[in-house]
Amino acid sequence: MKALETVIVETGPKPQYTIIWMHGLGADGHDFEPLVPELQSGLPPLRFVFPHAPVRPVTINNGYAMRAWYDIIGIDRRSAEDFKGIGDSADSIGGLIHREHARGISSDRILLAGFSQGGAMALHLATRHPDKFAGVIALSCYLPLARELSKSRAAANLGTPIFMAHGTLDPVVPYTLGDESRQLLEAAGFSIEWHAYPMQHSVCEPEVSDLHAWLRRLCESGAG
């Protein structure tokens, strides 16, 4: 499988943690690069890895080809889901995790992050991966393949801090779908810090501030 192209930003020498951050549908790895200065203050040196998703046709957008981690038929629990696309992307992101291992960053010093479809991939990996991660950031997203959770869940990240945030006015990924995902994850034993904001399908300043505070607590606790 072809390795994902990435944008890499390091906030200092000898990074202590790596954050692998997946973008949303139709965006690319540069999308969240501007957030790095806002998130790094007071934190140890970090490596941000922003991968570019492959280009593929997306059914919900009339088959138009765009960067996407998997095909989307519909944003609801009744729609069929792209098992193969999700699995292929999970394998590709796994390749980035192994690349960090080769750089001397163990899994318990890696955070998985993402917005929208990228956040869905972060949750998918965190619930199934055999290694414990330092943390998970899942913004304006949902848990894909939720029906499979009970039989595919791995226990490694049951105690891993998970930051989930969602806009109450989101017209793209409904707030109810994000909240339902939170409830499913909590019922399965995962540890969720949930935040809701009066915004649409976006990121807001209070959210970035709350995420920064969460990251500081995580680093100060010596995760990993």
CATH code for the domain of 134? 3.40.50.1820
Q: For residue 170, indicate whether it is catalytic.
A: yes
Residue 189 lies in a domain: yes
Residue 150 lies in a domain: yes
- Tokens representing 198 are 């009066």
Q: pLDDT digit string (tens) for 108-157? A: 999 999 999 999 999 999 999 999 999 999 999 999 999 888 888 889 99
Residues 193, 186 contacting (CB under 8 angstroms): no
Which pLDDT score is estimated for 224?
A: 47
Residue 223: pLDDT above 60? no
Average pLDDT of the residues in 29-42: 94
Please give the C-alpha separations between residue 128 and each of 69, 87, 101, 123, 137, in angstroms, as whole numbers: 17, 11, 18, 9, 16
First vs last Cα of the chain: how many Å apart? 30
Residues 86, 107 contacting (CB under 8 angstroms): no
Which pLDDT score is estimated for 1?
A: 61
Among residues 72, 37, 71, 32, the alpha carbon closest in space to that of 52 is found at 32
Number of domains in the chain: 1
The alpha-carbon radius of gyration of the chain (Å, integer) is 16
Q: For residue 124, indicate whether it is catalytic.
A: no
Q: Of 179, 201, 210, 212, which is the active-site residue? A: 201
Please give the C-alpha separations between residue 159 and each of 32, 111, 136, 195, in angstroms, as whole numbers: 27, 14, 11, 18
Q: For residue 116, indicate whether it is catalytic.
A: yes
Residue 1 lies in a domain: no
Residue 11 lies in a domain: yes
Q: Of 31, 107, 170, 181, which is the active-site residue? A: 170
- Read off the pTM: 0.96
Q: Of 89, 116, 140, 181, which is the active-site residue? A: 116
* Domain span including residue 185: 6-220
Burial letters 91-119, b for 16+ CB under 10 A, else e: ebbeebbebbeeeebebebbbbbbbbbbb
Which pLDDT score is estimated for 70?
A: 97
